[in-house]
Structure 1
Amino acid sequence: MRSVAVLGGEDFNLGFRLAGVDTTYTDSSEFEQILDEGRHGILVVEGDMYQNLPERLRERADSSAEPVVVPLSEEAESERLDRKIKQAIGADITE
């Protein structure tokens, strides 16, 4: 089973570590390597960090089946999150 990883600032990552996610990254330069490694099934990325990635990497992340990349911020669009969850688990949990 693939794991969940988190990419964000220390404060963002802390909540996930407290919830049991043990793989966290703080350097956005690791993003492409994380995609290439294939160790993680889901990659949660802090919204601001995601927006600052080069467009080619955001496009790659949006089309990635594995890992499923979930940008997460306070202003995250619920529809986008629903779509990503459906992509990750293969079922629509909102219906």
Structure 2
Amino acid sequence: MSQEIAVVGSPDFTTGFRLAGVRKFYNVESEDADELDDAVREVARDEDVGIVVMHDDDVAELSREPRSIVDTSIEPTFVTLGGGAGSGGLREQIKRAIGIDLMDED
């Protein structure tokens, strides 16, 4: 079972996670879309990674195939922060990752 957390994004975005102890990170220059696409493909193939954190603005910049990986991957689970990733988006990500809706009031 995959247990590591990885962070993909600009050095400014990944620094806080690195200081918090995240050991896997992929620094990507914001103006290089191909580098971002490659980082997503690489982290998706890493069998040690269970959760990938990305900024919502970076996800919006992905090309079609890496974007599909982020949107459909179960393991690793991609979690987006910032931008348009409001509580509804995070709720859907958690539901997809664990298979149940923790906020379901039925």
For Structure 1 versus Structure 2, the TM-score category normalised by the shorter chain is: 0.7 to 0.9
The answer to whether 1:32 aligns with 2:33 is no
The answer to whether 1:74 aligns with 2:75 is no
Partner of 1:9: 10
Query: Contact 1:42/1:88 (CA < 8 Å) preserved in 2?
Result: no
* Structure 1 residue corresponding to 2:52, chosen from 43, 53, 74: 43
SS in 1 for 2:62: coil
Matches of 1:93 and 1:26 in 2, distance apart?
A: 33
Deviations 1:37-63 (A, max 9, x none): 222100001222211111222122211
Unmatched tracts of structure 2, length 5 or more = 29-35
Aligned Cα root-mean-square deviation (Å): 1.8
Matches of 2:22 and 2:68 in 1, distance apart?
A: 25
Q: Using structure 1 for the length normalisation, give the TM-score.
A: 0.83
Unmatched tracts of structure 1, length 5 or more = none
Higher Rg of the two aligned structures:
2
Deviation of 1:90 (Å): 4.3
Partner of 1:57: 66
Matches of 1:50 and 1:32 in 2, distance apart?
A: 13
Query: Contact 1:8/1:45 (CA < 8 Å) preserved in 2?
Result: yes
Query: Contact 1:44/1:70 (CA < 8 Å) preserved in 2?
Result: yes
Give the direction of change, closer, same or farther, for the CA distance of 1:65–1:89 in structure 2 (3 Å limit): same
Partner of 1:18: 19
